[in-house]
Each structure stands twice: as C-alpha cells, then as structure tokens.
Amino acid sequence: MKIIFFGAGKLGREALELFETENKTADEVIGFADNRKTGSYCGRPILPIGDVADKDTAFVITVEDPYAAAEIYYLLKKRGFSNIYCFLNRRSGEKTYDDFLQKECLSAAGWGDCILPQVEMHIADYCNLNCKGCTHFSPIFEKTLPDFKGRLADVRRLKEKFSYILHFSILGGEPFLNQEIARYVTKLREILPDTYLQIVTNGLLIPSLDGAVLDSIRTNRVVVSISEYKPTHKMIDQIRDTLEANGIDYIIRPFASKEKFLRPLTLSEHTVHPHKCISNGCVNIWEGKIARCPTLMYIDKFNETFGTNLPNQGIMELANCPSGAKLLEELAKEVPLCGHCVACEIEWENCKAKPALEDFAAND
C-alpha cells in the first residue's frame, strides 16, 4: 500500500524513522503532505493532495494537535480519501511487530463527521505533588474520590453528542491515587472502544502499582503520559523500567519543559503580565458539567477557597448543552475568565501545607 504522511514536521520525521526501522510489510511511504510546506522533507517529496490520483492511498496524520488532526481528516474525506490513520506518537510497550499501520496508528474508519478532538476527566481531584500554579487547582481539593457511576455517566452523555472522541485523558490531580483506576480503564475502553485513551500522571506512584492495574492498562490499550516534574525526574528510570517490563505504551513529557511553571491567573484588571492561554482546547468534564478548560471548570472551587470572585461564565450542564458542531462552537468561545489568564513565570515548587492565593494568582 502507498502511504503519505500528512504533516511534514517533527512528528512526521519521527513516524518515518519508526516506519523505516519497524515496518516489514510491503507498504511504502511515497511522500509527505502539508498545508503550509512545499518541496521535500526527510528526502521525500511534499505532495499536493490534489495531485494524488489514487484514492486508495493511505494517509497517516502526523501532527500533535488533535484539533489540527481533525481538520486534516475532514479535508481528506472531502477530497475523497477514506484510508486515513493517525500516528499514535508513543513509545510502544510491545517489543516486536512488523505492521506500522496496525501497531503505530489509529484507524480513522469510524470517526464520522463530527469529532470532539480532545477531552479530559479527573478521577481524583487532589494530587500527591501539589505544585504551585496547578491549572486544575488540585492542591486546594479535599482528599476525596469521585463517584464511579457519576463519572461514567458523564462520559456516556458526552459520547452521544459526537460521532467520535479522538483523545480522552484520564487525569487529576493524580489519577493513580484512585484505587479504582483499573475499573475506570476497563469501563472507559468499553464505552470508547477506538478512542486514544491516556492516563496523564506525575508518575510517582507507577513503580509501586499493583500488577492488576498494570495489566488493565496494557490490555485496554491505554497510554501512560508522564509529566516529568523535579521529583519525577529523580526516579524516571524506575518509572520507565516498570512500564517497559509490563509492556505498557508511554510518553514522557520531559523535565526541561516542566522546570519553569506559570502562575496561570491574575486578579488585576490592568495586569503587567502578558496574556496567555495554556489550556486551549483542553475540554474538561466534571460532575455533570462541561467547560472549555480546567481553569474555568474549577474556578468556583478557587473562589470558594480564596474568597475571590473570578468569573465562571461558560460552564455548561452536559444534560442540556447543545451537541456536535454547536457544542464545539460554544466551547471555542472566549469566556470572561480568559481576561485573567497570564504567563507569570515561577520556579517549580510545592505549595506549603496550606496553599495560598499567591500560589496560583498574581496581583499585578
């Protein structure tokens, strides 16, 4: 089969390297496609898709942003291509295989015509790391766990609103603090059989995980995405060894990108800090609600804890919010809280025993 990688960037290069090392089928990468580039990349031509006459050509989407991946999928469908895949971009826990398309890609055959590119859900609101600047405000949450049935009811309600959910993140807080994680993983895979499912974690609990939890992660094809904070960095070899020994797919988001942290909010109307959105598109579901980002979703908890009055408009009830394209449109709209989101750089640190307002919000 002839294959074109759509996305002539870093991910495209990595996909090509993997293809050249692992693939043993007769498939052949004939070039790249890209919305912005022409010429060649990694020694292969960048082909205008209008010139690709063979509609059986397979396209592998090699871009990181799930929203961009969805756009490329719609474009290819419109041009009459149906053999579409998305590169998974994770370190495969499986040691030997020979079919790149089957093992390293997600087939887009069942995506339909209205995709939710990305969504996340807490299975523990609190965390064992309590970073200053946490955009989910995990340090201020009580050490309680959510109702399993309630969380899954939210996922089912959300699923009904779209033809497909591309990326689903199980997170927190720290998701491995929830002893029911294997149950969540199994049930979520049942509800979302073809979605890219990942657990986003600081990784600290991985070396001490129960064998049954590790088994459920592997058998349900869930990727473990590790944010490598300072304490994680100190034990990263142990974490990697545990995942590899158990054949689990993983991604490490490296130390350097987490050394500096941001205080995400300002209380000032006339801030000196540049405006910045660090959670754009990180749609969040929680307790029967949906919001365009975690900072908005948890702002009521923030206001209640610190006696502030930051705006909470834009949080919708899953039971009566619109569906499909209309919901995507609502989720993309700027909300009043956006005016308070800034880039105020801080060193990575834990909150003290009692988190303070200044740990999350600047006043200038």
Q: Which residues bind ligand SF4 (CB under 6 A)?
A: 127, 129-131, 134, 136, 138-139, 172-174, 202, 277, 279-280, 292-293, 295-296, 335, 337-338, 341
Closer to ligand SF4 at the Cβ: 72 or 121?
A: 121
148 or 348, CB closer to ligand SF4? 348
CB of 133 to ligand SF4, least distance (A): 7
In 3D, which of 228, 261, 234 has the Cα closest to residue 349?
261
* Nearest distance in Å: CB 120, ligand SF4: 11
Backbone phi, then psi, for 29, in 5-degree steps? -85, 115
Closer of 53 and 256 to ligand SF4 (Cβ): 256
Minimum distance of ligand SF4 from residue 128's CB (angstroms): 7
CB 181 to ligand SF4: min, Å: 15
Least Å from the CB of residue 235 to ligand SF4: 14
Shortest spacing between CB 247 and ligand SF4, in angstroms: 25
Residues 6+ apart with CB under 8 A from 190: none
Structure token pair of residue 226: 């590790």
CA-CA distance, 179 to 199, in Å (whole number)? Answer: 14
Nearer to ligand SF4, 129 or 290 (CB): 129
Buried b (16+ CB within 10 A) or exposed e, 262-275: bbbbbbeeebebee
Long-range CB pairs of 294-301 (<8 Å, 24+ gap) are: 294/120, 294/135, 294/136, 295/135, 295/136, 295/137, 295/264, 295/265, 295/337, 295/341, 296/335, 296/337, 298/125, 298/136, 298/137, 299/337, 301/137, 301/140, 301/141
Distances (CA, A) of 119 to 1, 146, 158, 290: 33, 18, 10, 10
Cα distance between residue 261 and residue 134, in whole Å: 9
Residue placing its CB nearer to ligand SF4 in the complex, 84 or 296: 296
Q: In the complex, what is the shortest distance from the CB of residue 92 to ligand SF4, in angstroms, rounded to a whole number?
A: 25
Q: Which is nearer to ligand SF4, 76 or 290 (CB)?
A: 290
132 vs 189, which CB is nearer to ligand SF4? 132
Among 337, 329, 331, smallest CA distance to 283 is for 331
